[in-house]
């Protein structure tokens, strides 16, 4: 979309949703976003593949949750539509599954409208930091929050700084969910517990990311695990996303990239 930047959109500054789209090989990005992806490649040749590995994690998780009987999904920080969107994966298992996408970037809404192929799916422009988020009519009109929900927070919490209180934000959301709900998270990962020898290299990537895009926080496994509170983690716990119930024919990341993003899924009793 290089030629015609819509009103209100700055094509000269990289933007999270568009950089991520560029890493996935999508078309909804500008040259400045693609430059960010190239910069990542200089840190580690497979760094941009993190996006694909994360989407494959998302797909495995959503399929698992739908198979467990989760019928409604709230995908916060959903990003631009891409291959294998949550509603496509969930509704392939259960055609009645309902999905609400939430993102604070209005570009996501503009592109998301095109993917609303059925009345079980909607998209809302809102900020995860909004304490009244779950009262948003776009959410409450499609999801019954008294019943179990699959709360999906893939690759969003690492865009929140500690002083924005991501722990408090997730705790509030967890508390609002009905028993039987699940929480899925993926997050930039600093492997101090599992691969300490790679920490300096990964921190170099973190420095570069923040010097350019400015909103990336790599957290340890203990810190990521804390986001799940007292929910029960499903096997294998919080691990590099590539290692969460892997399937054949998926992108494999190599160290240090492999350790640079971790995730897990947990259930509320």
Interacting residues toward ligand SAM by CB under 6 A: 16-17, 20, 54-55, 58, 77-79, 103-105, 108, 127-129, 154-156, 159
Least Å distance between CB 205 and ligand SAM?
15
Instruction: Dihedral sign for Cα 132, 122, 166, 159, please.
Output: negative
Q: Among residues 258, 268, 217, 245, which one has the least CA distance to residue 53?
A: 258
Nearest distance, CB of residue 269 and ligand SAM, angstroms: 26
CB closer to ligand SAM out of 166 and 256: 166
Q: How far apart are CA 167 and CA 28, in angstroms?
A: 31
Nearer to ligand SAM, 137 or 200 (CB): 137
Nearest to 120 by CA among 65, 70, 73, 64: 73
Retrieve residue 164's tokens: 């924005």
Q: Which is nearer to ligand SAM, 16 or 202 (CB)?
A: 16
Nearer to ligand SAM, 129 or 252 (CB): 129
| Nearest distance, CB of residue 198 and ligand SAM, angstroms | 22
Q: Which residues pair with 123 in a beta bridge?
A: 101
Of the pair 187, 268, the CB lying nearest ligand SAM is at 187
C-beta of 127 vs 162, nearer to ligand SAM: 127
How far apart are the C-alpha atoms of 170 and 153, rounded to whole Å?
9
In whole angstroms, give the CA distance from residue 54 to residue 61. Answer: 10
Using Cβ positions, the residue closest to ligand SAM within the complex turns out to be 79
Instruction: Evaluate whether 77 touches 154 at the Cβ level (below 8 Å).
Output: yes
| Least distance between ligand SAM and beta carbon 197 (Å) | 27
- Least Cβ distance, residue 191 to ligand SAM (angstroms): 20
Q: How far is the CB of 260 from ligand SAM (least distance, A)?
A: 13
∠ Cα 214 243 50 (to 5°): 30
């Amino acid at each position: 979309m290089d030629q015609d930047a819509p009103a209100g959109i700055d094509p000269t500054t990289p933007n999270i949703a568009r950089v991520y789209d560029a890493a996935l090989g999508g078309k909804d990005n500008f040259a400045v976003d693609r430059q960010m992806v190239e910069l990542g490649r200089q840190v580690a040749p497979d760094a941009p593949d993190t996006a694909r590995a994360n989407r494959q994690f998302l797909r495995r998780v959503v399929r698992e949750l739908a198979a467990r009987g989760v019928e409604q999904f709230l995908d916060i920080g959903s990003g631009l539509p891409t291959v294998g969107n949550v509603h496509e994966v969930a509704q392939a298992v259960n055609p009645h599954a309902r999905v609400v996408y939430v993102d604070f970037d209005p570009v996501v809404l503009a592109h998301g409208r095109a993917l609303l192929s059925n009345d079980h799916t909607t998209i809302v422009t809102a900020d995860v930091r909004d304490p009244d988020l779950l009262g948003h009519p776009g959410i409450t009109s499609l999801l019954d929050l008294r019943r179990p929900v699959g709360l999906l927070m893939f690759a969003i919490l690492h865009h929140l700084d500690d002083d924005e209180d991501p722990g408090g934000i997730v705790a509030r959301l967890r508390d609002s969910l009905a028993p039987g709900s699940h929480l899925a998270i993926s997050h930039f990962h600093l492997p101090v517990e599992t691969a300490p020898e790679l920490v300096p290299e990964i921190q170099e990537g973190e420095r570069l990311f923040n010097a350019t895009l400015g909103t990336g926080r790599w957290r340890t496994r203990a810190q990521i695990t804390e986001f799940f509170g007292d929910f029960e983690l499903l096997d294998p716990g919080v691990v590099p996303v590539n290692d969460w119930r892997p399937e054949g024919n998926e992108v494999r990341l190599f160290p240090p990239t492999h350790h640079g993003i971790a995730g897990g899924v947990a259930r509320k009793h």
